[in-house]
Structure 1
Amino acid sequence: MELRVERDSDVDNWKEVILIYNSALKQISTKLEILNDEFQHVHRYNPIEHIKFRIKTSESIVKKLKKNGYESTIENMVKYVNDIAGIRVICSFTSDIYEIADMISHQSDIKIISVKDYITAPKLSGYKSYHMLVTVPVYLSDRIVDTKVEIQIRTVAMDFWASLEHKIHYKFEGNAPVNIKDELIECAKMVSELDARMLLLNEKVQSLSQEDDCDER
């Protein structure tokens, strides 16, 4: 199951498209690393734990195109599949999620296409994450290509839950037994509670640290 790349020109186009998406991922990854370093310099704190990125496989692209009733061509792939290039930003606390999203939105060459806040409005499954669909300019030798990248921002706990949910979804092809779905929802509630308690604990620690700094002056 592959995208249709029958002619030599199609193969060249496919390779160029993948090169462009990879370049877009590199640009946004570098931007995030710089912002994280700056945040450390100014606030002595890193909001980003780590960053993951990937290019969607051709098989997954074809499945998504067929699901939405589109022919499997490179043109349709670029036009209709928004998450070919994906980057996941993992942070410690829920407050970091919005801090990172705000920093991204203030980058002058990044255009925000859409935002889906599954933190304040989780999916029925219990899934929580903050999604941003953006475009970033990729500078080639003969032109500039505004390239779509999906950015997902979530806490370590949210990522742990989402990873297991993803495995279960593919294990049962989207039809997991009811008892497993119910257990996942309960685990999602526990993750939310853990994130809230960890955030509160961190705020208490920060408050005590500030008091100690004042006492030393």
Structure 2
Amino acid sequence: MDWELFLSPYKQAIDELKIKLRGYREQYEMCGDHSPIEFVTGRVKPVTSILDKARRKKVPMDRLASDIQDIAGVRVMCQFVGDIYKVIALLKSRRDFQIIEERDYINEKKESGYRSYHLVINYPVQTITGEKIILVEIQVRTLAMNFWATIEHSLNYKYEGRIPKDIKDRLQRAAEAAFLLDEEMSEIRGEIQIAHKHFVLKNSNDKSTP
């Protein structure tokens, strides 16, 4: 398989979606409003990871594009839990792609403690040979959720998916602590947003002063 050719539309989709989603943040900032989007990242799965997942899920090579949903992945980071659902509403209002699956791991967390909101979309990419529809997974989560998920992912990699029970228990407690932090921050979000506006205004005034 020519991997560079196969992955090219996925890379294009990531680049386009990052620009579109970052555009929301810029629009909120221009209006002086709180942006539900803190920042956006994206990646195309490495070939070794694609092959490993295909082996684990017994996906034949000719069905990689249809059976592996996260070859292209976009991650949207938010400050508050409520922001996640604002971002989901924005995504659902778009007409340039089709949502084919959604999983709310915030209201229904995984057994491990993992929380995030996942969407799988059909995204059209324009290529020299015509339009190509590819699958992209979008994950929307808070900064605290992302910190926990990054640690859990590293431990899963280290222990090859067989994390010792004592560490699993600690991870679950850490997940609850992270969610409690999110809830506490949501309670004082008004104060946080006012403080942020004062900070932005002060920086703007300082830059305009000769």
Same fold, judged at TM 0.5 (above): yes
- Partner in structure 2 of residue 147 of structure 1: 134
- The question of whether the paired residues in 1 share the 8 Å contact of 2:34 and 2:193 is answered with no
| Worse-superposed segment, 140-149 or 181-190 | 140-149
CA 1:118–1:164 in structure 2 vs 1: closer, same or farther (change >3 Å)? same
- The question of whether the paired residues in 1 share the 8 Å contact of 2:69 and 2:135 is answered with yes
* Matching of residue 81 in structure 1 with residue 68 in structure 2: yes
- Partner in structure 2 of residue 50 of structure 1: 39
* Matching of residue 185 in structure 1 with residue 186 in structure 2: no
Q: Percent identity?
A: 34
Q: Number of paired residues?
A: 196
- Partner in structure 2 of residue 122 of structure 1: 109
Q: Could you tell me which of 158, 169, 182 is aligned with 2:145?
A: 158
Pairwise CA RMSD of aligned residues? 1.8
Counterparts of 2:30 and 2:82, CA distance in 1: 19
Q: CA shift at 1:19, angstroms?
A: 1.0
- Partner in structure 2 of residue 212 of structure 1: none
When normalised by structure 1's length, the TM-score is: 0.85
Q: Could you tell me which of 94, 102, 107 is aligned with 2:81?
A: 94
CA 1:205–1:159 in structure 2 vs 1: closer, same or farther (change >3 Å)? closer
- The question of whether the paired residues in 1 share the 8 Å contact of 2:69 and 2:137 is answered with yes
- Partner in structure 2 of residue 24 of structure 1: 13
- The question of whether the paired residues in 1 share the 8 Å contact of 2:119 and 2:139 is answered with yes
Q: CA shift at 1:206, angstroms?
A: 5.7
When normalised by structure 2's length, the TM-score is: 0.87
Counterparts of 2:157 and 2:107, CA distance in 1: 26
Q: CA shift at 1:111, angstroms?
A: 0.5
What is the letter of the counterpart of residue 96 of structure 1? D
What is the letter of the counterpart of residue 18 of structure 1? L
* Matching of residue 68 in structure 1 with residue 57 in structure 2: yes
Q: CA shift at 1:102, angstroms?
A: 0.9
Counterparts of 1:62 and 1:206, CA distance in 2: 44
What is the letter of the counterpart of residue 136 of structure 2? V
Q: CA shift at 1:145, angstroms?
A: 1.0
Counterparts of 2:188 and 2:15, CA distance in 1: 34
Q: CA shift at 1:43, angstroms?
A: 4.9
Q: CA shift at 1:139, angstroms?
A: 1.0
Counterparts of 2:97 and 2:119, CA distance in 1: 11
- Partner in structure 2 of residue 33 of structure 1: 22
